């Protein structure tokens, strides 16, 4: 439960409107699942974020940095700590020639639209990814042959010591759905993206084609956290799951999408426990049939460490 004294400290720092207590996370994730966080905090500048993180550390309060909540499963019990949401308050975008400077809360779709308006090519792949720039840096987000690694030039971060500094692309250790952010407690504040000049009509045509392909193949009509599993080397997760006979399989109200087996969807009132149990079932059956270990791509928050064995292994 939240503490009234700490709530007042957060309100003095951010303003009362930027602080919520005992906030249901189901209202803030694309999965529409999750119990209450003790605090949901919305800083509006890098300086506020810096002071907020330092305050959490000083008070020994666990905290989690959240973007658009599109790749996140929060436990039914919620999160005992502060969820710091970097969203609309940190979503500025500026164009400088063939480069885009954007804050971490900017949506990828908004950045892609800004790039197209300036006839800048190379960011079309990201236009349909329902996430923020900060989350995309953390996960090296990608789709349709493109990934952030191809366009990121440098990222401004809040480092382990609470200092703001810049990391060049080569220091980000970007790999398949991985980055230095997953190895060190760094927080992305903003980033420079380098693109190239192109024909607006061609950029718009490619963007529309990718959007149509996404709508045709992905279950966008039901809540989910995007692709549930990473692509195993030499395979496609969705194909393995389908061939294991799991299309439409469910636990409670969580279901393997009938449209794309790589997605677990909330069919209406699913709990986090439903999703975790279904992930375990899918991993077990795929491993038994094909000997392939599926690794979850979605991030998980608020789960008891004692449950890690069931979440992360067979």
Cβ atoms of 42 and 3 within 8 Å: the answer is no
Closest CA to 217 of 176, 250, 261, 253: 261
Distance CA(88)–CA(85), nearest Å, equals 9
* β-bridge mates for residue 142, sequence order: 147
Distance CA(104)–CA(111), nearest Å, equals 11
Question: What is the number of alpha carbons within 13 Å of residue 281 lying toward its C-beta?
Answer: 18
Cβ atoms of 79 and 21 within 8 Å: the answer is no
Would you please indicate which residues are annotated as catalytic (active-site) residues? 177, 227, 297
The strand pair at 79-85 and 63-66 is best described as parallel
Helices 46-58 & 4-14 angle (0-180, nearest 10) = 160
Distance CA(267)–CA(159), nearest Å, equals 39
DSSP state of 224: B
Cβ atoms of 87 and 135 within 8 Å: the answer is no
Order of strands, sheet of 264-266, starting from the edge strand that comes earlier in the sequence: 250-251, 254-256, 264-266
* Cα angle, residue 262 at apex, residues 257 and 267 outer, rounded to 5°: 25
* β-bridge mates for residue 63, sequence order: 82
């Amino acid at each position: 439960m939240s503490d009234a004294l700490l709530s007042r400290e957060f309100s003095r720092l951010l303003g009362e409107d930027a602080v919520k207590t005992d906030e249901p996370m189901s209202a803030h994730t694309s999965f529409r699942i999750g119990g209450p966080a003790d605090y949901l905090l919305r800083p509006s500048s890098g300086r506020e974020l810096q002071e907020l993180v330092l305050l959490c550390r000083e008070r020994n309060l666990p905290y989690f940095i959240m973007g658009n909540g599109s790749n996140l499963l929060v436990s039914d019990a919620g999160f005992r700590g502060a969820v710091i949401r970097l969203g609309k308050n940190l979503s500025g975008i500026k164009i400088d020639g063939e480069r885009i400077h954007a804050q971490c809360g900017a949506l990828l779709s908004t950045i892609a639209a800004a790039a197209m308006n300036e006839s800048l090519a190379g960011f079309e792949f990201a236009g349909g990814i329902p996430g923020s720039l900060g989350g995309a840096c953390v996960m090296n987000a990608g789709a349709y042959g493109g990934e952030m690694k191809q366009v990121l030039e440098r990222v401004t971060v809040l480092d382990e010591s609470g200092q703001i500094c810049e990391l060049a692309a080569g220091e980000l250790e970007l790999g398949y759905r991985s980055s230095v952010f997953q190895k060190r407690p760094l927080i992305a504040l903003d980033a420079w993206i380098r693109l190239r000049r192109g024909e607006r009509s061609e950029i718009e045509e490619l963007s529309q084609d990718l959007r149509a392909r996404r709508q045709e193949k992905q279950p966008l009509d039901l809540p989910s956290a995007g692709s549930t599993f990473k692509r195993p080397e030499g395979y496609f997760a969705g194909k393995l799951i389908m061939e294991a006979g799991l299309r439409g399989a469910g636990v409670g109200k969580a279901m393997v999408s009938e449209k794309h087996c790589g997605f677990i969807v909330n069919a209406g009132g699913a709990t986090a426990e439903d999703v975790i149990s279904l992930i375990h079932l899918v991993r077990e059956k795929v491993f038994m049939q094909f000997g392939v270990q599926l690794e979850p791509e979605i991030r998980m928050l608020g789960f008891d460490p004692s449950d890690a064995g069931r979440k992360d292994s067979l």
